[in-house]
Chain A
Amino acid sequence: MSPKRIVERAAKKGLDIIAISDHNSAENTGAAVKLGRMKGMVVFPGMEVNTREEVHLLTVFEHVSQALAMQEEIYRRLEGKNDPKIFGDQIVANIHDEVEGFNERLLIGAVDMALEDVVDKVHELGGLCMASHVDRPSYSLISQLGFIPPGLDLDGIEISTPDAKGVVLNYVGEAPSLVCFSDSHRLEQIGAVFSTFFLEQPVFAELRKAFKGEGGRKIEF
């Protein structure tokens, strides 16, 4: 996985919009967004935050600067150092697939920040926040906390396969919007599942409207 290979693979799979959401880090989003612009693909910068409760939250921003501001919040509350022998090298790459550096933080760790505080921070920075893969038995809002806390201001709930829709709807009810993404950790997973956003243009403001179901925008999978 490198920014270049991800964008190329996504284009090949016919995707129009992707988001880069590494674990607790946004350091590779800049290169991916730049490559997207060069190759005519919309790439949004984001991050998958592992909260204090070990709940994964998928965050997406309009601008790299916002994702990096979120990253700063995360880094301040993330302890530990990566052991490449166990978790592999955490490479920061440029648009040419060259190694720019190594991220030495323990990115697999949990951030010492409560679920609600992460959601609020993402919104404060102008981003969208979803609960990741709630149909999975680990690191999901439902596995960790049993049910979706009332009043939690999420923009969406992500599931990892369309088959999980029925079960998850029991927990979620009507709102917020359900989405289905591939959570790709390897190139070959890209595009395995995806959601179709009905938008006027592939821009962030339209994504937000789609999550809210405004003006005929919608999300299907």
Chain B
Amino acid sequence: MRVRDIKEMLGLELMAGSSGLDRMVQGGYCGDLLSDVMANAPQGGVWLTVQAHQNIVAVAVLRELAAIILVNGSKPDPKTIERGEQEGIPILVTNQGAFEAAGRLFMAGIGRTRNEGVCS
């Protein structure tokens, strides 16, 4: 699934980084402590957070993440939008909380390995 497909599926609004919309999404991570995300987010993953600071773009680049979703109505700072645009990291926003958004992504198969116990 591409970032573009996730955007459609969850009804996300794109704030920056449209050049990265065709990136494939492989897994995901939820976290608001950037020190934790830097250590644990999977390469190619989509990252759900409320942190709107420009450092999130650097973390996404560092971990080679597919996209950032700001959840719970959090809006990116102006500098964050600028950096996202420069780096081609899609920054998407939603009013859904991290739990709900992550749940939907997981149900859609993101981050699920085969035979993992979700009835479909």
Contact = CB atoms under 8 A, between A and B. Distances in A.
Interface of A: 52-54, 114-116, 142-147, 149
A146 B55 contact: yes
Contacts of A115: 53
B54 interface: yes
Interface bin, chain B: 10 to 19
B53 A53 contact: yes
Nearest to A53: B53
Contacts of A143: 33, 35
Given A145-B35, A145-B51, 7 more contacts: A54-B32, A114-B53, A114-B77, A116-B79, A142-B35, A143-B33, A149-B53
Nearest to B78: A114
B33 A144 contact: yes
A213 to B, nearest CB: 27
B32 to A, nearest CB: 8
B14 interface: no
B30 interface: no
27 contacts: A52-B52, A53-B51, A53-B52, A53-B53, A54-B32, A114-B52, A114-B77, A115-B53, A142-B35, A143-B33, A143-B35, A144-B34, A144-B35, A145-B34, A145-B35, A145-B51, A145-B53, A145-B55, A146-B34, A146-B37, A146-B38, A146-B55, A146-B58, A146-B59, A147-B55, A149-B53, A149-B54
A39 B59 CA distance: 49
A143 B36 CA distance: 8
A150 to B, nearest CB: 9
B62 to A, nearest CB: 8
Contacts of A52: 52-53
B68 to A, nearest CB: 13
A143 B31 CA distance: 12
